[in-house]
Amino acid sequence: MSDRVTISINDGIADVRLNREDKRNALDNAMFRGIAEAGEQLKNESGVRVVVLSGNGASFCAGLDFSTMQAIADSGSDDVEAAAGDDDGNPGEMADGRITHLGQQVCWVWQELSVPVIAAVHGHALGGGIQIALGADIRIVHPDTKMSVREVHWGLVPDMTGTFMLSKLVRPDVARELTYTARVFDGTEAYALGLATRLSDSPLDDAMALAREIAGRSPGAVQGAKELFNRLDHDGAAEAFAEERRVIGAQIGSKNQMEAVMSGFENRAPVFVD
């Protein structure tokens, strides 16, 4: 497995950590691959009753690696995947039999696990970072965490299961406002809106405490409960994810998307065309 993600398992709890702290755990191709592989590994680990997902260093996950966006701005490429370079871990990669591409799978894999997943969120959870957190069953968030459904800022749309998961957690008008504006909000507001399960000054410590509590319950009952919730919550997921891929495909490389990226890096107001 990639060193971008670490896993340690003790007393039925899988401690999964994003491990690119020098980049605030930003998502490059290797990180996409590492997260998806970690989820797949845990599907086959006997004795795991709960997963705690967190990020090493100052942030949970700051979203897409800026180097990808910078490469687009520098080259004028209309292909985000080509600008990212390495094909290993291409976020647009589809695997046979899946309803997700790799970028969606790094969020959805936590729903596919039969055991509960708790995200401990701190620092930043932006763009892809917040979407990964939304893939967990429970989110324990530091009040000062900077969060954003950030994609529109870059001329894109959430395409990592974000619109689907947002629609399950907050009112439709709230989901739309957060997405349309791409504004940054803190963990306290996230809790008020329903995106955070609870607030904590020590999210990882409290996530581990909650994990120990859940791990002490009958594993069959806990996993059965997750299965029942998932049956209710996952209806329409395949169609929603296919539409995410269709809509973002129309935006990538468009004049307005390129202008969003370039104006951001040039620190000027964008000039869009209708």
| Domain map (residue ranges) of the chain | 5-202+219-265
Pair 226, 114: CB distance under 8 Å: yes
| Helical pair 66-75 and 255-265, crossing angle rounded to 10 deg | 110
* The CATH number, out of the four listed (3.30.565.10, 3.20.20.70, 3.90.226.10, 3.40.309.10), of the domain defined by the range 5-202+219-265: 3.90.226.10
Looking only at Cα atoms, what is the longest distance across the chain? 58
> Which is it for strands 5-10 and 13-18: parallel, antiparallel or unpaired?
antiparallel
The encoded tokens of residue 229 equal: 């919730």
Instruction: Write the single-letter amino acid at 15.
Output: D
Integer Cα distance of 79 and 221 in angstroms = 46
pTM above 0.85, yes or no: yes
Instruction: Write the single-letter amino acid at 236.
Output: G
Q: Is 67 exposed, middle or buried (0-12, 13-18, 19+ CB in 10 A)?
A: middle
Pair 190, 196: CB distance under 8 Å: yes
Give the pLDDT of residue 102. Answer: 96
Pair 147, 185: CB distance under 8 Å: yes
Pair 50, 211: CB distance under 8 Å: yes
pLDDT tens across the length of the chain (274 residues): 679 999 999 999 999 999 999 999 999 999 999 999 999 999 999 999 999 999 999 999 999 998 766 665 555 444 444 444 455 778 999 999 999 999 999 999 999 999 999 999 999 999 999 999 999 999 999 999 999 999 999 999 999 999 999 999 999 999 999 999 999 999 999 999 999 999 999 999 999 999 999 999 999 999 999 999 999 999 999 999 999 999 999 999 999 999 999 999 899 999 999 9
The three-state DSSP-derived secondary structure of the chain is: CCCCEEEEEECCEEEEEECCHHHCCCECHHHHHHHHHHHHHHHCCCCCCEEEEEECCCCCECCECHHHHHHHHHHCCCCHHHHHCCCCCCCCCECCCCCCEHHHHHHHHHHHCCCCEEEEECCEEECHHHHHHHCCCEEEECCCCEEECCHHHHCCCCCCCHHHHHHHHCCHHHHHHHHHHCCCEEHHHHHHHCCCCEECCCHHHHHHHHHHHHHCCCHHHHHHHHHHHHHHHCCCHHHHHHHHHHHHHHHCCCHHHHHHHHHHHCCCCCCCCC
The encoded tokens of residue 5 equal: 């993600």
Integer Cα distance of 51 and 33 in angstroms = 19
